[in-house]
Each structure stands twice: as structure tokens, then as C-alpha cells.
Amino acid sequence: MRQLIEPENTMQKTSFRKHRVERFSTQQVTRQRKERQPKTVILFNKPYDVLPQFTDEAGRSTLKDFISVSGVYAAGRLDRDSEGLLVLTNDGALQATLTQPGKRTGKIYYVQVEGLPTEDALAALRAGITLNDGPTLPAGIERVAEPAWLWPRNPPIRERKSIPTSWLKITLYEGRNRQVRRMTAHVGFPTLRLIRYAMGSYTLETLANGEWRDVTS
């Protein structure tokens, strides 16, 4: 009689299990290290002409010129030609709360525009307008005086003597690329100067231009 010989299973099951254990153990250690990292929240009053990042290959001014804390990143952008509040953190949940459109976190800007906006223009901004990337959400729009706490910009804005300027307080609940500038230009009143004052519960308060404060709680 022919003897049936079962083929040998040359796969090493223990090695496969060991590989899985090692792989998941490594992931767990990495996750634990991230969880152990202490939460940090920094408020920075960004000057004009400073990039909202820590490095720049072109040698332009960055956050590194002002902030000595490492491992934090800006929650949302504040363009190079804009000024004011930048929130930096290593907390992903906080970044999401401040920046994701679905969270509807309010962001307050003080905006100097060219000209004297009409009531029709302000009403359009409040109701929402349609930009090239779609309609904007309704926004808070108020006429205000130039803020008493405002610092001089370096260099100063270029004003045309024949055209007056005015200030608006704008509250947005979304954050698109250069949205405030595009909104005011759309209704015929270009932005000359833009200062972000608040993001959610975080505000500039008495923070001087170019200074930062650790507000980790």
C-alpha cells in the first residue's frame, strides 16, 4: 500500500504571531509617547510680513524669529500680509475646533478698507456673498472706529489722499484662503490692513505685536 505522507507546513506560525505582536507593540508605544506629550497652547501677535510657519527656504521672516517653543503648529493660517492673533498648539483636537468649518468657531477681524462701505455692501456681507469658490456663510459685520489698542504697521499702508478709509469688525465662522480680503473687494471696498483679534475664546487682549504668551491650562 502506498503510504500517504502529509506535506510539511514549512511556515513558522510562531514567527507570524511574533511579528504581529511586535508590530502592534511598536504602534502602541508610539501612541503612548504621543499621549504623554504635554499639551501646549501659545498665543502670538504676528507682525506684518512674517510667515505663519517656522521655516522658509527663501530666508523670509518666520515664527522662529520670535518663538522659542518647539513642537507646536499654527491652527489655521494668517497670511504674511496680515497681522494679529495666531494660535499655536500640539493639540490636534484644539486645532480641529478652531479651524474645521463644521465647528463654526468664530474668528474676529478688524479690517481697514478703502472707501466708506454702503449699507447695501454691509448687508450683502452679512447675508453671504458668492465668491469664485462658492457662497460664504453669513458673517458678523460692524462699522467701528480705529481700535485704540492698535499698533503702528511697519511699513505703513499706502493710502490715497483722495479716498477716505474706514474700519470694519468682521466675524467669520469659516476660514477660506484670503477670505476677508476677497469679501471686501467683492463689494467694492478693498482691504488695506487686516488684524485678527480672536479665535474662539482666545484673544489678543494686551499681547503686544511681536510677542507671545503660553496660555496652556
User: How many CB atoms are located within 10 Å of the residue 141 CB?
Assistant: 20
Question: What is the rounded CA–CA span in Å between residue 178 and residue 55?
Answer: 21
Question: What is the rounded CA–CA span in Å between residue 172 and residue 161?
Answer: 30
Helix, strand, coil share (%) of the chain residues, nearest 5: 25, 25, 50
**Residue showing cell 497670511:** 79
Catalytic residue among 65, 79, 81, 214: 79
Q: Alpha carbon 107 to chain centroid distance? A: 10
Cell readout for 23 is 508590530
The yes-or-no answer on residue 133 being catalytic is no
- Residue type at position 12: Q
Catalytic residues, which ones?
79
